[in-house]
Structure 1
Amino acid sequence: MILVTGGLGMIGAHTARALLDLGHEVVVTSHRRAEVPSFLAGRVTVEHLDVTDRDAFLALGGRHDISDIVHLAGSIPGEDPVHYFRTDTTGLLNALDAARTWGVRRFAVASSLGVYVGRTEIPWHEELALPTADLPHLIIAFKKAVEPLTTHSLQGTGIEPVVLRIGSIWGPLMDPESPFNHIPPYISAVLRGEQPRPLHADDGGDSCYAPDAGRAIALLTTAQTLRHNTYNVSSGRPFANRELADALRAITPGLRLDLLPGRQHGPGDDPYLDIARLTHDTGFKPAFDVATAVADYVAWRADNPR
């Protein structure tokens, strides 16, 4: 059985779904979210768990025969950065403690494409040295620390660490007014019959639809062998806002969307993740392009609030 912490969140739920589709038993943990997505209902075991509670975390091993862990649980920073870092570091260390106690085969953990901030090469790939740079968000700062904390904690244990440098993911279950990705709020405005805030046509960069991200993580968790312990997780292609507008126009005849010309900050390219390593080791290829992702998301939102 594979444990997915944060398994009712957007990325966690799609990871759990992909693992189930691959034929694995899955137990997911959730702290605040109780609603099980329709595509997981009746298919997964749900454990309500605060991952900062070490004893409760370790007790999962007495109820389930857990072979692998995908640690995706995390919190959103408030006003106190120390509280945020303490909370998420405690959750990570408890997950690592559980992995060591249970002797799992593989421990996958969420990092972020933000660890590459400061590198000018495009696309970003795993062999780039991570720069010392001012990071734009507390979450990215924590994710950068996650990588050595995980690999050093598992060194010599026989447990295989898999660091997931996750790209800009969007899709079903994301907050439709998310401040972290502009696509769901843009589509939400269209669904309300409003004119969304104009975007620059050539802005974009990395983007991956959540079902694809979940399947990539599932493949990395279950692959018989992996050649590396760090993998980019995304679509592997650049995205531009004009594609989003075109996709919405294609499914809404007569829709008028105003795009601003060029890029907001002038000529150049926005970074995106290279996934050659992921594809080579797992055979992963995205199932969704921008048009099919937008159509799928609009159909999902017809019956779901997020």
Structure 2
Amino acid sequence: MTWLVTGGAGYIGAHIVRALADAGIPPVVLDDLSSGRRGFVPDDVPFVEASILDRDAVEQTLREHDCAGVIHVAGFKYAGVSVRRPLHTYAQNVEGTRVVLEAMEAAGVANLVFSSSAAVYGTPSVPLVTEDLPKNPTSPYGESKLIGEWLIRDQAVATAESEHPLRHTSLRYFNVVGSGDPSVYDVSPHNLFPIVFEKLIAGETPTINGDDYATEDGTNVRDYVHVADIAAAHVVAAQLLAAGEPIEAAYNLGSQNGLSVKQIMDAMARVTGIDFTPAIGPRRPGDPDRIVATGDLAARDLDWANRYTVDDMVRTGWEARQGV
């Protein structure tokens, strides 16, 4: 019961690959290495260097490895950059998802776990995000993920009476952090953890963007979830789909409570042993005080739980980065 992981050489995808293997599900990876790293893929996992935009490559991989399903992680994931590069974002995330769906239909593969994003909600007016909240993305990235969910929904309707009706779920989450394997770490230049790590390694002082928000300590509160927990939820979703079990169209993988930027900075100093006082910079335009998602549905169906403390998140991420 092989599963294809698109984007399996990336930070999140590589953790999903390991979680699949640990569960006894053979993975195969397709990645163009535009942001992923070949070294993140275990040597014993089949690897195809190709773009998800290459329909023939995707279909051939599905057929050759007799895939039971796809965990579609590949995509352009930088919300801020997507504002400057909307056409690239839509090509990778919308057209890429369309091509994957087309290749799946041609190969008779009918199970899909879609790595979506809580960016589909935009800047919600409520502090706790649930799956039924109206979708109002505020970046081309968020829009592309929402359109991806629509494409999947529509393909499921279109194939409902076919030989291989599409079964699917979309997993939405905010900030993925930490490491579940010391050889895999977050390489993004736009995420908080690697930004702080690189500052500390360079002997520089990390910055908090605003400390006058309407939160307990004045800094933004966000969802931070450990990458190993994220990977585990993808695997359970794949198992449910393959077994024909009931599954929701979408799940939030949320922390329920969230962490403030100051709490993250305090943990960074505590865990790394580098004593620092973060600089306070200006607010970033449009940054809401608090955005945190529930994980109730995922806890019910996907064995979702936050199994790591903030110190665990920092420690595993820091150890992986230190091992570079």
What TM-score, normalized by structure 1, do the two folds share? 0.87
Among candidates 222, 225, 229, match of residue 249 of structure 2: 229
Superimposed CA distance per residue, residues 45-92 of structure 1 (whole angstroms, 9 cap, x where no aligned partner): 111111111122211133111001011111365855334423433221
Q: Give the C-alpha shift of residue 168 in structure 1.
A: 1.8
* 1:215 aligned partner: 232
Superimposed CA distance per residue, residues 222-278 of structure 1 (whole angstroms, 9 cap, x where no aligned partner): 2342431111124343111222122223234461223659x989xx84111111100
Task: Give unmatched runs, 5+ long, in structure 2.
Answer: 179-183, 212-216
* 1:173 aligned partner: 185
Among candidates 148, 165, 168, match of residue 146 of structure 1: 148
Q: Give the C-alpha shift of residue 12 in structure 1.
A: 0.9
What is the aligned residue count?
Answer: 297
Superimposed CA distance per residue, residues 90-113 of structure 1 (whole angstroms, 9 cap, x where no aligned partner): 221121112223333421112211
Taking structure 1 as reference, are residues 34 and 168 closer, same or farther at Cα in structure 2, changes over 3 Å only? closer
Q: Give the C-alpha shift of residue 294 in structure 1.
A: 0.3
Taking structure 1 as reference, are residues 128 and 84 closer, same or farther at Cα in structure 2, changes over 3 Å only? closer
Distance 1:218 1:151 in 2: 21
Taking structure 1 as reference, are residues 256 and 287 closer, same or farther at Cα in structure 2, changes over 3 Å only? same
* 2:181 aligned partner: none
Q: How does 1:122-161 map to 2 (within 5 A)?
A: 122-131=127-136, 135-155=137-157, 156=160, 157=162, 158-161=165-168
Check conservation: 1:168, 1:234, Cα contact below 8 A: no
What TM-score, normalized by structure 2, do the two folds share? 0.82
Distance 2:4 2:256 in 1: 27
Superimposed CA distance per residue, residues 11-70 of structure 1 (whole angstroms, 9 cap, x where no aligned partner): 111111111111110001110245222xx4234211111111112221113311100101
Matched, 1:239 2:271: no
Greater mean deviation of Cα atoms: 49-58 or 199-208: 199-208
* 2:169 aligned partner: 162
Matched, 1:86 2:106: no
SS at match of 1:44: coil
Q: Give the C-alpha shift of residue 114 in structure 1.
A: 1.2
Distance 1:2 1:254 in 2: 42
SS at match of 2:313: helix
Check conservation: 1:108, 1:162, Cα contact below 8 A: yes
Taking structure 1 as reference, are residues 254 and 69 closer, same or farther at Cα in structure 2, changes over 3 Å only? closer
Distance 1:43 1:90 in 2: 30
Task: Give unmatched runs, 5+ long, in structure 1.
Answer: none
RMSD value, Cα: 2.7
Distance 1:300 1:34 in 2: 14
What is the identity percentage for the equivalent residue pairs of Structure 1 and Structure 2? 22
Taking structure 1 as reference, are residues 260 and 81 closer, same or farther at Cα in structure 2, changes over 3 Å only? closer
SS at match of 1:217: helix
Taking structure 1 as reference, are residues 123 and 100 closer, same or farther at Cα in structure 2, changes over 3 Å only? same
Check conservation: 1:165, 1:233, Cα contact below 8 A: yes
Taking structure 1 as reference, are residues 264 and 92 closer, same or farther at Cα in structure 2, changes over 3 Å only? closer
Matched, 1:97 2:102: yes
Superimposed CA distance per residue, residues 130-169 of structure 1 (whole angstroms, 9 cap, x where no aligned partner): 24xxx43211111111111111112215221111213222
Letter in 2 for 1:61: L
Matched, 1:121 2:123: no
Taking structure 1 as reference, are residues 94 and 195 closer, same or farther at Cα in structure 2, changes over 3 Å only? same
Q: Give the C-alpha shift of residue 174 in structure 1.
A: 2.2
Check conservation: 1:49, 1:56, Cα contact below 8 A: yes
Distance 1:78 1:269 in 2: 22
Greater mean deviation of Cα atoms: 268-277 or 3-12: 268-277
Check conservation: 2:89, 2:144, Cα contact below 8 A: no
SS at match of 1:257: coil
* 1:75 aligned partner: 76
Distance 2:30 2:320 in 1: 24
Check conservation: 2:185, 2:321, Cα contact below 8 A: no
Distance 2:10 2:37 in 1: 10
* 1:275 aligned partner: 295
Matched, 1:55 2:45: no
Letter in 2 for 1:163: S
